[in-house]
Amino acid sequence: MKDYSRRLTPVLVGAFLLVLGVSQLPAQITNEIRANIDHSFVIGNTSLPPGEYTFRMMQNSELSVMTANSENDKTNVTFIVREAVDNHTPAHTELTFRKYGNTEFLNKIFESGSKIGAEVTETSREESSLVKAGQQPTLQTEEK
């Protein structure tokens, strides 16, 4: 029995470290993503108006920092992301928002054909206060 425990312990420790490491992986989006968003939305603590946006990973960020630029370059937001895994492979690029009433917060971005995308890690002060007030978000996914 001791021999079995000696063999099993390293396997369990390795599995635990693997699971712990997966949650810290950077997002895997490598191409820029263009999206026409027809409603205002929030990333971090920045409110953005409706419009055409380009999302891209920042160079030399190890795929953990993303930018959102408006078509006219008037709006530029930088935010931290981590890897997100979807339960399906989207046929089109998808943006997911957490919606509280009329306010939507960017949640995840997936490129078409990939189950691995980016999840925004920053929670805004506004969203934190909505959660503290007991509000529950609805998830809204938009194909682009």
Q: What is the mean pLDDT of residues 96-115?
A: 94
List all residues 6 or more positions away from 47 whose beta carbon is below 8 Å from its beta carbon: 40, 41
Asked if the model's pLDDT at residue 3 lies above 90, the reply is no
Give the whole-angstrom CA distance, residue 70 versus residue 36. Answer: 10
Give the whole-angstrom CA distance, residue 82 versus residue 3. Answer: 40
What is the reported pTM? 0.77
The pLDDT value recorded for residue 144 is: 82
47: β partners: 42
34-73 pLDDT, tens digit each: 999 999 999 999 999 999 999 999 988 888 999 999 988 7
Asked if the model's pLDDT at residue 7 lies above 80, the reply is no
CA distances from 60 to 26, 57, 63, 65, 66 (A): 12, 9, 8, 9, 11
